[in-house]
Amino acid sequence: AEHPDIVAVSQIMPVHLQAGTDNAVLMGPRYLHVEREEWAALQADLNQWLQADGISLFSAASGRHYLGYTATALERVGTVDLPPLGCALNRPIGQLLAGNELRPFRRWLTELQMWLYSHPVNAERAKKARPEINSLWVWGRSPWLFSSSDVETAESLLPKATDRICDDDRALIYTDSAVLAGALHSNVASDANNPVVILSANSQPDINELLARGVSPSRPVHLIWSEPLWCYLEGDLAGWNASLDAIDRFLTQIQSAHPHAAAQARDLEVDNGVDLVWQRYHWLTTLYTRLFRSK
């Protein structure tokens, strides 16, 4: 798609605003479980509706979704965005939407929510007793410094088996974080010492994704996985446990594929940044939990 007049972009996420006692609580994508077909239908119709305001909705190489604003659009919605998604998940958002600076944005957001309310996708979700996609969370406003040809779709840059990784001495980072991958990718060409980055197309790490790119099992891999933290922020306990189990399985796969398994064995901790540290599964941990923490 062409976006010749874009001057700024914001990241967006479809969300559900759950009515609370005092104000709405923001529920995120792990609560909504938006299906690909649902989002495709919603995105196509939403783009048409947004055109009148000079706004374009598009997806970047990571699969993240963005709003592109023309100068006219900025006059319509204002120049201030909401706080980052991670600051709002599973929390009341009344104070985050307050203030005179956000008045134009609040007006535009109210109109958007009314449009979403009547969309057929939400009508179908309501029939199935599924939460509605009743708002978008918009954050991270930045100037757009690129030409229209630089707007890349998710399909154009997803890892493919033909995208081989050179067997060299550089560090290899395997991550689900598009923010990290994008920041590192932008500097790879300018510095031969920068790490090689593989942005996963999945929510769980998988050794087959590395093998398909030509990565040797004996090559050290730095696994940086954000899914457990996002599950924690959304209060998704099942997702939290599933993501940690997936990391366990990945590490087991790595060790099994290594020609010298003993050399690959190492201690690992995953710190989610809020003083909760997870260590690899061990049968003694389960035994301790059952004996001493079951009451």
Mapped to the 3 state alphabet, what secondary structure does 204-252 carry? CCCHHHHHCCCCCCCCCEEEECCHHHHHHHCCCHHHHHHHHHHHHHHHH
- Please give the distance of CA 200 from its chain centroid, rounded to a whole number: 11
> 0.85 exceeded by the pTM?
no
State residue 161's pLDDT score. 44
Distance CA 251, CA 263 (A): 13
Looking at every residue in the chain, the average pLDDT score rounds to: 79
Residue with tokens 């939407």: 97
Query: 289 pLDDT band (50/70/90 cuts)?
Result: low
State residue 55's pLDDT score. 94
Query: Token digits for 288?
Result: 């301790």
263 φ/ψ angles, rounded to the nearest 5 degrees = -70, -25
Query: 244 pLDDT band (50/70/90 cuts)?
Result: confident
Amino acid code (one letter) for 105:
F
Angle of CA points 237, 239, 242, to nearest 5°: 110
pLDDT digits (tens, 9 = 90+) for 21-60: 667 899 998 899 999 899 999 999 999 999 999 999 988 7
* CB contact at 8 A, 88 and 24: no
Angle in degrees, 0-180, between the axes of helices 120-127 and 36-51, rounded to the nearest 10: 150
Distance CA 233, CA 90 (A): 7
* CB contact at 8 A, 137 and 32: no
State residue 273's pLDDT score. 46
Mean per-residue pLDDT, 59-69: 82
* CB contact at 8 A, 37 and 100: no
Task: Find, among 276, 200, 199, the residue nearest to 231 by Cα.
Answer: 276
Report in angstroms the alpha-carbon separations of 85 from 28, 42, 63, 217, 264: 9, 20, 16, 36, 37
238 φ/ψ angles, rounded to the nearest 5 degrees = -65, -40
Show me where the domains of the chain are located. Answer: 8-150, 164-284
